[in-house]
Amino acid sequence: MNELQIENLSKIYANGTKALNNVSLKITNGMFGLLGANGAGKSSLMRTIATLQEPSEGAITFNNLDIINKPDHIRKHLGYLPQQFGVYPKVSAEKMLNHIAVLKGVINDKDRKEQVDALLHQTNLYQHRKKDVHSYSGGMKQRFGIAQALLANPKLVIVDEPTAGLDPEERNRFLNLLSEIGENVIVILSTHIVEDVYGLCSKMAILDKGEIVKEGNPLELVASLENQIWTKTISKTEIEKHVNSYNVISTKLISGKTQLRVLSETKPSEGFESAKPNLEDVYFTSTVK
């Protein structure tokens, strides 16, 4: 069992921005979802775990080894797909993967060919392996990104906002691919898309303004709101009145009408209906507006 332990991690950038504030997390094998709005600090945390930047305070250990002072403890076990991968060279996917595999220390030719071929198949890129990566579609680039991250059998895989910019079909295909990564590795998926986490992750945390505001199993977190979520459909002119009177956690436009979701232990008033809680409710009840 692999274990990533993050303790009291803070990051203040040179311009004074406090991107992470006393973050502590323990992450073991399986899919871990880190959910947060843009600017919440997800990339700052991912880059710190990937040892690309140092924290201002705090400790990170991987299998009990300090990775801040000794980054080599993690680097050879790390697969990382950054938010802006950016490396889409005018080189074929096959050549590029071979090259990255060598850099990651897979120097045996036969091993390397086996790994590269297997990953090209797994990511559904085998038939496109001779094409330049820079000519790939957005979805294909992301699948190439995960292929390079999985080279050399990493124990820790970090994917930072991988579904941003993908169309629904590409996104589905990418998430299915992630779900196939073995159960014997840690996969950290950072995203601002609630549904990405719900279907895929057995553990999750919500990051808000640099702080962990909720942590647990997505299904259990949703179940904890059972019988406390109420909906009502109103017209636009009634929104303000309702926001002032009730604990409104979200509003959504449906066919031109506004649907409110309210958190309350009892029925707020006539006109409200009980609703099944979802992970978005967990998100909105945890984060500060």
**Does residue 6 interact with ligand ADP by CB under 6 A?**
no
Among 15, 64, 84, 266, the residue binding ligand ADP under the rule CB under 6 A is 15
**Does residue 165 interact with ligand ADP by CB under 6 A?**
no
Strands in 110-224 per DSSP E: 156-160, 186-191, 203-208, 211-216
Distance CA 172, CA 191 (A): 14
**Does residue 55 interact with ligand ADP by CB under 6 A?**
no
- List the interface residues with ligand ADP, window 57-96 (CB under 6 A): none
**Does residue 41 interact with ligand ADP by CB under 6 A?**
yes
Measured in Å, how far apart are the chain's first and last C-alpha atoms? 38
**Does residue 36 interact with ligand ADP by CB under 6 A?**
yes
Among residues 137, 282, 146, the alpha carbon closest in space to that of 220 is found at 282
Among 3, 22, 39, 137, the residue binding ligand ADP under the rule CB under 6 A is 39
Among residues 277, 286, 289, the alpha carbon closest in space to that of 214 is found at 286
For the CB of residue 42, give the shortest distance to ligand ADP in the complex, in Å: 3
Distance CA 76, CA 82 (A): 16
Among 9, 32, 33, 43, the residue binding ligand ADP under the rule CB under 6 A is 43
Among 8, 17, 108, 153, the residue binding ligand ADP under the rule CB under 6 A is 17
Distance CA 26, CA 8 (A): 11
Binding site for ligand ADP (CB under 6 A): 13, 15, 17, 19, 36, 38-44
